[in-house]
Structure 1
Amino acid sequence: MNIPFSPPFIDQAVIDEVLDSLRTNWITSGPKVKALEYELLNLTGSKATVCVNSWTSGAIMMLKWFGVGDGDEVIVPAYSYCATALCVLHCGAIPVMVDILDDFTIDPVMVKSKITSKTKAIIGVDIAGLPCNYNELREIVNDPAIKSIFKPVTAKQSELGRILLMSDAAHSIGATYEGLPAAQKCDVTIFSFHAVKNITTAEGGCICLNLPPPFDNQEEYSFLKIFSLNGQNKDAFAKSKGANWRYDILFKGFKMNMPDICAAIGLAQIRQYSNTLLPLRKNIFLKYCAAFKSYDWFIEPTGKDEIREGSYHLFPLRIKGITEAERDQIIESLVNWGVIVNVHFIPMPMLTYFKSIGYAIENYPNSYKQFACEISLPIYPQLSDPEVDFIIESVIGAVHQVVEINKLVKVLS
């Protein structure tokens, strides 16, 4: 067999929705984006949703909206994709990295220990689709002692009166927390709709707003729509309606809007998501767990616990007691057998750029520990039962082959 890692879900409904955009001759931001934002409101129960052209764009925009800038600090996990820290750096601020828990989520105890008067935001990352411990993070940002050292320097910061709590929910659309959509747990939650995500728009993202009083989330939505379009007070769709060409630039904005041709893909997928696409992912996740649980090398990932249920975006297989080199040997065997896998993620302090600016993986031992033994298996709705069975057989065979051979080598040496 030849099993790819994560192809996009493209069915006739997706094709029809994209063709509808093409036939209307409207492919930039317009009615499809509005329709997708409406579907996202329904899915997440958020107070407002703003579609943008990537997760990274959305994160930069929200940090800028909050006034994060030179000399400020934003706490992030060391174990994440680079965009989680790059969005901070692009604002001129400093990413303060902390270690993770065994379930891959940011360690709240470490977060609290790193808060200073310069801390303006915390970004939790829902690795593999599992929400962070947002109740604990909310307690931290609302702690009177923590609030007392918060030093607002912009109107938005004064209005909130505390550290901004953001969720890097690139993996976790559809995840729940205490029975409610997990997006409601943070001030700002940002999804990614990159090609490999549970819902894709080829490239894209969405900002979910759940700001507390005295913020008016609808007012902020209106501002962010303009902010994402160069500060222009009228988008192209509005300008196309009759003699409506005159526009103004109200402030220095960004060009981060999502086009309709991209929104059309996500619109067709999101309508099938809760009832079809997400359950199919969950079934594969559970099948993997059932197949591997009898092996003493298997570390079961958390798909669901007492208060959280993830989106089953990844199946982060971890193999007990192996080295990074042995993990890589297992991956090579799987690829040779036709199963394409991945690793999520290389901790940021191991990457050349972050090492060059002073981060060192030795300061984040659990991030390295989880990385060294992790292999992300294919998990997507199009996988057939025979393909899942083949992946399971291949994993068991590859682990046995590598681990047993290396044991023998050690004995003989």
Structure 2
Amino acid sequence: MKIPFSPPLINKYVKEEVNDSLDSGWITTGPKVKTLEGQIKDLTGSPEVLCVNSWTSGAILILKWFGIEPGDEVIIPAYTYSATALAVIHAGATPVFVDINEDFNISTKEIEKAITKKTKAIIPVDIAGWPCNYTELNSIAEAHKKIFIPNGEVQEKLGRIIIISDAAHSIGATYNNLNTGVLADITIFSLHAVKNVTTAEGGAICLNLPSPFNNEELYSVLRCYSLNGQTKDAFTKTKAGAWRYDIIYPGLKINMPDVLAAIGVGQMKTYSKGTLPKRIAIFEDYNKHFESKNWAIIPPYKSSNKQSSLSYLRFKNKRH
């Protein structure tokens, strides 16, 4: 029996959106990206969403914007994909690994032990779509305000450790009746080919910073950063009299193109009422089969205050 590895959902809506992008003659950043950002805002309730070309580049962008530099420390779980640590390294800081709980998510007790005056950020990871304990994570950031040493205007404005949720797996998950996307200061989804929603390659940054930050203004700043610090994208420059632009930041080139965003736009049309319920049904079928096996540890899916997005349907064997 041949079981394919995470085949992407390519339905009629995806094909229609991609063909529409191709037929328009506009395939780089433009209206499809804006539509996808709007769809993710509607799903999550996030104040603003910026789509980029990968989770990794999105994380690097946020860390750089926050003023992370050599000598700083960023706490991450020991159990995660390499990109979590690589983003920290590429931003110039030191990743500090801490242990996990039995549910595979980062241990808040171990975070407490690892915080120093050099700690600038914590990046919890929602493993397999299972949300972390964001109540405790946000409380930890508040509780350590006194030892936080800000470097630069942005860090002074926040006045504490920033919580950046690695929600690569967890689009559509919930915690305390809130959607991932509004559980931390910043949430970053992956839209890679094997994720629940894909754009082939891509990522989405959800902005949820508290006052006095203005998330709408921050979206404009980060969008500019993601386009080499350029004040207008190519689509905007095509408008009459809009050819002039400036380079105002030493930015990155990590924007998402429309032809890829179109895949996500098509997938989002059926995600909440189609894809996610189907994944739940598949998960429950697996549960029925494995719950009678004494060697199988069933991964968490639902509790009194959490529901997973079921990004990975996997089981861990016990060692005897």
Return the TM-score normalized by structure 1: 0.77
Residue 65 in 1 paired to residue 70 in 2?
A: no
Q: How far does residue 241 in structure 1 lie from its aligned partner after superposition? A: 1.2
Q: Deviations over 1:377-403 (max 9, x none)?
A: xxxxxxxxxxxxxxxxxxxxxxxxxxx
Residues 4-403 of structure 1 correspond to what in structure 2 (within 5 A)?
A: 4-143=4-143, 146-321=144-319
* CA apart distance, 1:212: 0.5
Identity over aligned residues, as a percent?
Answer: 57
Q: CA separation in 2, counterparts of 1:187 and 1:180?
A: 14
* Cα deviation digits, residues 281-327 of structure 1 (max 9, x gap): 011111111111111111111011111111011012011225xxxxx
Is 288-297 or 204-213 further displaced after alignment? 288-297
- Structure 1, unaligned runs of 5 or more: 323-413
User: 1-side partners of 2:190 and 2:180: how far apart?
Assistant: 15
**Counterparts of 2:66 and 2:261, CA distance in 1:** 27
C-alpha displacement of 1:244? 2.1
Name the SS of the counterpart of 2:270 in structure 1: helix
Secondary structure of 2:216's match? helix
Gaps of 5+ in 2: none
- One-letter code aligned to 1:58: G
Match of 1:164, as an amino acid? I
> What is the aligned-residue RMSD (CA, Å)?
0.8
Deviations 1:154-201 (A, max 9, x none): 111000010000110000000000111022110000000000000000
CA distance in 2 between partners of 1:183 and 1:57 (Å): 18
- The letter of the residue matching 1:290 is K
The 2-side partners of 1:100 and 1:60 are apart by: 23
| Distance in 2, Cα, partners of 1:4 & 1:205 | 24
CA shift digits 1:251-284 (9 cap, x unpaired) = 1111010000000000000111000000000111
Distance 1:131 1:22 in 2: 37
CA offset digits 1:115-146 (Å, max 9, x no partner): 00000000000110001111111111111xx1
Report the secondary structure of 1:95's partner residue.
strand
Contact 2:167 2:180 in 1 (8 A): no
Partners of 1:12 and 1:182 in 2: CA distance: 28
Greater C-alpha radius of gyration: 1
Residue 328 (structure 1) aligns with: none
Q: What secondary structure, in the 3-state scheme, does the structure 2 residue paired with 1:185 have?
A: coil
1:55 deviates by: 0.1
- SS of 1:142's partner is helix
C-alpha separation between the residues in 2 aligned to 1:266 and 1:91? 28
Q: Distance in 1 between matches of 2:119 and 2:63?
A: 12
List structure 1 segments (4+ residues) > 4 angstroms apart after TM superposition: none
Which amino acid is the alignment partner of residue 7 of structure 2?
P
Give, as a single letter, the amino acid of the residue that structure 2 aligns with 1:205.
Answer: G
- Quick check: 38-47 or 242-251, which moved more? 242-251
CA distance in 2, matches of 1:288, 1:201: 27
Q: Which has the higher helix share?
A: 1
